[in-house]
Amino acid sequence: MTETVISVEKLSKRYIIGHQRDGQDALRHALEDAFRHPLCWLRKRKAERESTREEFWALQDVSFEVKQGEAVGIIGRNGAGKSTLLKVLSRITDPTTGRIHLKGRVASLLEVGTGFHQELTGRENIYLNGAILGMTRHEIRRKFDDIVAFSEVERFLDTPVKRYSSGMYVRLAFAVAAYLEPEILIVDEVLAVGDVAFQKKCLGKMGEVAHGGRTVLFVSHNMSAVQALCDKAVYLQEGTVKAIGNVEPVLNQYLIETGGAHGQRFAEPISMGPALKLLAFDFTPNTIRSGDALRFTLKLCAEGPTTIHEMSVLIYSAQNIRVALLDLRSLQMPMSLLAGEEWRAEGEIRSVPLVEGNYSIGLYVNASNYLENVFDLTSFSVGAHTGNGSCAPVPAVYRGLVELDCKAAVVGPTQSNWGAELVAGSTEHSQIQS
């Protein structure tokens, strides 16, 4: 059985929040009270301090376990307690109640520059961070070239890190945390500082760390990154564990509850720039099966003279990945509208090739002198495919984003002339699922 390396039992963290008292006394009156009636003034000040203090529980009774080699995503809204949890696990702050058991060396990347000394150079900070993690100088030297190559800061290695840009900072910090071989790697949303190429490289490295038998805890608002990297997820809501388990169902629950997987139908017209209003946008039916047809209706109204040059319907997955663009330029575009004039279009996707799940709809408009992108206009759901004859469908998590209508035929076995037999093989086909 895989060994448990992180065990969190009924963990809670409390902070005291201070509030400004209404009707602050003038300094002169406060000094008069302090000199004339010092005991009364002290009692009054103590009561005021207590009345303006509020307890805030960032975490409440959080419990979960992480096995060796697991990559676990911590997800939730802003303020849900994700960063507080990682700070407690990294021993940066102490819990108020509860227990944590960690087995192995922990490397944390929580904020840009965490653990770096501003006055030291990049080279010196590599050795400093390695020493903090318990590495010997020989171990650090063995990994030094890999860290420098990954971080791409070789030219500035002997420059004090206080002169680094945020991107250089986080590249070096991540390289140190990942390459000094901790048993547990904890990474917060800090990767958002880097560019797309760097984020991709970091995700690849974290995947290598996890596949190498070490443990990764990853906080991110990028659901596609969480889905690609993690095999397990912990969903925090207002400091408590709302759901925990395999990444796919937990992500779907989070996105549905936070509105990320379902678009909102609108009762009032939606502004599409300074001169256009979206009056209606509907998909029918709202729930289909993969391979079925899907119809849509679009209705716009011009508030002033305008010309529409381009228009596209965008389809997004529950993880906010764009999966399709429906180009509507064939609808007599460019198209000029006068003030008060309405425009309506209907269309049909003859066969929706999407795997089961929830999808949201957006609209892109390129009109006179402006571009407009509106997300989450509405939503639709795709149900599971009916299957492949007597074969049950492969679970959606393994199938990607689309269902391909694929046909194949059995043409063997043969003893010789394989190429000729393949061409002259049976014309009977059986549907298979991709």
Most confident of 25-29, 194-198, 215-219, 430-434: 215-219
The mean pLDDT of 142-155, rounded to a whole number, is: 89
Same domain, 134 and 223: yes
Integer CA distances (angstroms), 281 to 64, 111, 276, in order = 43, 42, 14
Return the pLDDT at 107.
81
Q: Same domain, yes or no, for 229 and 80?
A: yes
Write the pLDDT tens digit of every residue in 268-325. 677 777 788 888 777 776 667 788 888 888 888 888 888 888 888 888 887 778 888 8
Give a yes or no: residue 265 inside a domain: no
- 300 lies in some domain: yes
Residue 391, in any domain of the structure? no
Residue 214 maps to a domain: yes
In a domain, 393, yes or no: no
Both 42 and 101 in a single domain?
Answer: no
Higher pLDDT, 189 or 249: 249
What does the mean pLDDT of the chain come to? 78
Average pLDDT value for residue range 113-120: 78
| pLDDT reading at 12 higher than 90 | yes
**In angstroms, rounded to a whole number, what is the distance separating the alpha carbons of residues 169 and 153?**
9
Residues of the chain with pLDDT > 90: what percent?
10
On whether residue 398 sits in a domain, the answer given is no
Same domain, 283 and 232: no
pLDDT in tens, 415-428: 555 444 444 433 33
The predicted structure's pLDDT at residue 365: 87
Distances (CA, A) of 318 to 26, 292, 322, 325, 330: 56, 19, 10, 16, 29
Question: Is the pLDDT assigned to residue 267 strictly greater than 70?
Answer: no
Res 390 pLDDT > 70? no
Residues 277, 303 contacting (CB under 8 angstroms): yes
Q: Which residue's entry shows tokens 């991107």? A: 167
Q: Using omega within 30 degrees of 0 as the cis cutoff, is the peptide bond preceding 274 cis?
A: no
Residues 23-48 have a mean pLDDT of 67
Q: For the packed helices 166-179 and 122-132, what is the interaxial angle rounded to 10 degrees?
A: 40
pLDDT confidence of residue 150: 87
Per residue in 334-385, pLDDT (tens digit) is 888 888 888 888 888 888 888 877 788 888 888 877 777 777 777 777 876 6
* pLDDT higher than threshold 90 for residue 63: yes
**pLDDT, greater one: 163 or 30:** 163
pTM of the shown model = 0.58
Q: How confident is the model at residue 192 (pLDDT cuts 50, 70, 90)?
A: low
Q: 111 CB contacts (<8 Å, ≥6 apart)?
A: 188, 190
Rounded to an integer, what distance in angstroms lies between the CA atom of residue 22 and that of residue 320?
A: 44
pLDDT, average across residues 223-228:
73
Last residue of a domain, one of 231, 257, 283: 257
Are residue 193 and residue 224 in the same domain, yes or no?
A: yes
Beta-strand relationship, 335-337 and 306-316: antiparallel
211 against 36, higher pLDDT: 211
What mean pLDDT is predicted for residues 134-160?
A: 88
Find residue 332's DSSP bridge partners: none
Nearest C-alpha neighbor of 71 from the set 225, 236, 239, 257: 225
Q: Is residue 263 part of a domain?
A: no
350 burial level (CB within 10 Å; 0-12, 13-18, 19+): exposed
Residues 279 and 349 in one domain: yes
| For residues 137-154, average pLDDT | 88
Please report which residue ranges of 152-185 form alpha helices under DSSP H.
166-179
DSSP 202-218: HHHHHHHHHHTT-EEEE
Total domain count for the chain? 4
User: Structure tokens of 82?
Assistant: 């994700």
Q: Which has the closest alpha carbon to 324: 235, 403, 430, 408? A: 403
pLDDT of residue 153: 87
Mean pLDDT of 99-108: 87
Which segment of 98-112, 189-203, 231-245, 257-271 scores lowest on mean pLDDT?
257-271
Are residues 357 and 253 part of one domain? Answer: no
100 pLDDT tier (thresholds 50, 70, 90) = very high
- Residue 157 belongs to what domain range? 65-257
